[in-house]
Amino acid sequence: MCLAIPAKIVELVPDSASLATVEVAGVRRRVDLGLLEDDMPKPGDWVLVHVGFAMSKISEQDAIDQMRTLTMLGEAEQAMEEVQGYGLENLDAGNVRKQ
């Protein structure tokens, strides 16, 4: 199943036009914001992420509702596996927490 996962923008990657560090349930990964260039998110904003790309901006309440729905459907674990497999995780080891 393809999942769109809510993530909070933690920081914009310096020297990059479209990369950001996001956090999902304590796991930090880099995602590409290029699809949102017309309304670029900033730290503190929430986005829906799919395969390493931020697809849309959402509210914090929508993010909470989305995670609650994923949990109810039994898909929260698969969502976390997807986050961990983005392939954009080139963060310093100290900045990444895995569950």
If one compares 69 and 60, the residue with the highest pLDDT of the two is 60
- Structural domain tally of the chain? 1
Backbone angles phi, psi at 92, to 5 degrees: -60, 145
74 in any annotated domain: yes
Residues 17, 8: contact at Cβ < 8 Å? no
pLDDT for residue 91 is more than 60: no
Each residue's pLDDT tens digit, 2-36? 578 899 999 999 999 899 999 987 889 999 999 99
Q: Say which CATH number the domain at 13 has.
A: 2.30.30.140
Question: How many whole angstroms separate alpha carbon 69 and alpha carbon 62?
Answer: 10
Residue 39 resides in a domain: yes
